[in-house]
Amino acid sequence: MTETTQTHTPPAPPGGAAARSPEFRLALDALRGLRQDLFDDAFAYRPLPRRSVDGPVTRRLTGRARQYAQWAPHAVVGAAGLLAMLVGYESSRGAFLDVLAGLLALAPVLLTLVRPVGAFWASLAAAPVSGLCYGGWYEWPWPPGSFLTHLTVLTVVAVRTRPRTAAWMWVLTLVYGLFADTLHHSGYYDSTTGPMLVLSAFALLSVAVLHIRRQARQEVTAQRTVTAHERSRRTLLEERTTIARELHDVVAHHMSVVAIQAEAAPYRVQNPPPELERAFATIRENAVAALTELRRVLGVVRAEDYEAPEAPQPTLADLDALLANVRDAGLTVDKAVTGAVRELPQGVGLSAYRIVQEALSNTLRHAPGATARVEIGYVLGGLGLRVVNGPPPYPAPVKPSPGAGHGITGMRERVTMLKGGMTAGATDDGGYEVAVFLPVATVSEGEA
């Protein structure tokens, strides 16, 4: 008895093994790129845009010269077309053919201004016709005028498109040159295919390098923008974290005082009613619970190495010590107070102190040797601050420090938190001024 073993061969995929090979897919993608770059909408209308006048040279131009500078690329292309037309006109057989050769050299170059890809096809089509107009078969397949035209068209189209399109144009130029040389392998003195391929390769390679540099510059600019934005956000978060830490200490202190006073209040009254004792007990429980939640929520903003200050947070009452400190650092500063001095909420006093401190620190860093003045105005409905410094002396005794850019951001965050207003900018004499208004709610006697 004989056993027969059957081997089941899996069915071949549609399109054969080549459809699955990387080489086939690579060739298919290449042909698809060729169709997209040089065949799809080849004669689409794409006018050459005017040149930007924001460059280092054109920025210095004024009036009509600045307007004419916008058309500089168009003028260069037009001049190249006129040169090609003159070369084609002089190298033709004469009579009517010289005019035809000149127009065939000029038209593709001018076409690059409005239909760049179509200009490439027009230049290829004009090459054999220009060869018939040429006075002799000494140079083929590109006579002098057509040679200059095609080289100009390749360069302009490469500048206006992308490197892949330039590569495809060079390949098609190679194919056309080899085909033309094979078709007329005899009957002409010299072939211009080799010089055309070499010169066009150098021109297209130079344009590709310019494209790569431009793209790299754009990417670097975009990355710098993103980095600056991220740095600004990080600075903003750091300032908000600092403010949250300080306010955490202020609020925690007040809640602790409320809890202690609520616990001690019943003992200040002889035989307090039970309702009063329960009310104070509820107040104390709520204060302790709020303090616990506050420490749990706002405790996340503390760094691992952060230690709460043992001394109370500073206020405007400590401003004289701050001014004495900056005077010791070499800053000449005066203080002026207007209005009736009154007690401020601790958050407002702390923010006002920090704003003055940061403004004076900026003066020390950015304008060493300058004089400063601090003005505090207690006005109806709020507190006004103005810190102004004069221009630094020349020559400066100390080189200015660039700083990290946190100062103005931190001041604005504090002012925004208190719903105030702030302006900061250079003064007419070359100094700098920071003006702030912090609103303070007033309490009438009937509500007190």
What pLDDT is stored for residue 236 in this prediction? 75
What would the mean pLDDT of 203-221 be, rounded to a whole number? Answer: 92
What would the mean pLDDT of 254-260 be, rounded to a whole number? Answer: 73
Is a pLDDT exceeding 60 seen at residue 266? yes
Question: 254 or 429: whose pLDDT is higher?
Answer: 429
Return the structure tokens found at 239: 């300032």
Q: Which range, of 17-26, 109-118, 347-356, averages the lowest pLDDT?
A: 17-26
Q: What is the mean pLDDT of the chain?
A: 82
What pLDDT is stored for residue 331 in this prediction? 85
Q: Which range, of 47-56, 87-96, 224-233, 382-391, averages the lowest pLDDT?
A: 87-96
Is a pLDDT exceeding 90 seen at residue 118? yes
Q: What is the largest CA-CA distance in the chain?
A: 131
- Using CA of residue 393, residue 399, residue 405, residue 406, what is the dihedral sign? negative
417 pLDDT band, cuts 50/70/90, is: confident
What pLDDT is stored for residue 226 in this prediction? 86
Looking at the DSSP assignment, which residues form a beta bridge with residue 438? 383
445 pLDDT band, cuts 50/70/90, is: very low
Class of residue 444 by CB neighbours under 10 A (exposed 0-12, middle 13-18, buried 19+)? exposed
Question: 372 or 247: whose pLDDT is higher?
Answer: 372
What would the mean pLDDT of 61-73 be, rounded to a whole number? Answer: 85
Pairwise CA distance, residues 67 & 72, whole Å: 10
Return the structure tokens found at 130: 């220009």
Is a pLDDT exceeding 80 seen at residue 256? no
What pLDDT is stored for residue 254 in this prediction? 66
- Domain 316-439 grouped into CATH 3.40.50.720: no
Pairwise CA distance, residues 438 & 376, whole Å: 11
3 state DSSP class of 389: strand
Is a pLDDT exceeding 90 seen at residue 209? yes
Is a pLDDT exceeding 70 seen at residue 17? no
Pairwise CA distance, residues 2 & 8, whole Å: 19
Is a pLDDT exceeding 80 seen at residue 109? yes
Helix axes 274-298 and 193-264, enclosed angle (nearest 10): 160
Pairwise CA distance, residues 346 & 184, whole Å: 96
- The fraction of the chain above a pLDDT of 90, given in percent, is 36
447 pLDDT band, cuts 50/70/90, is: very low
What would the mean pLDDT of 398-425 be, rounded to a whole number? Answer: 79
Nearest-CA neighbor of 142 among 114, 112, 103, 101?
101
Q: Which range, of 92-96, 348-352, 372-376, averages the lowest pLDDT?
A: 92-96
446 pLDDT band, cuts 50/70/90, is: very low
Pairwise CA distance, residues 109 & 81, whole Å: 5
What would the mean pLDDT of 336-359 be, rounded to a whole number? Answer: 90
Helices then strands (H, E): number in the chain?
12, 7
Strands (E), 78-223: 139-140, 190-191
4 pLDDT band, cuts 50/70/90, is: very low
Is a pLDDT exceeding 60 seen at residue 14? no
What would the mean pLDDT of 215-219 be, rounded to a whole number? Answer: 90
The answer to whether 189 touches 139, Cβ cutoff 8 Å, is: yes
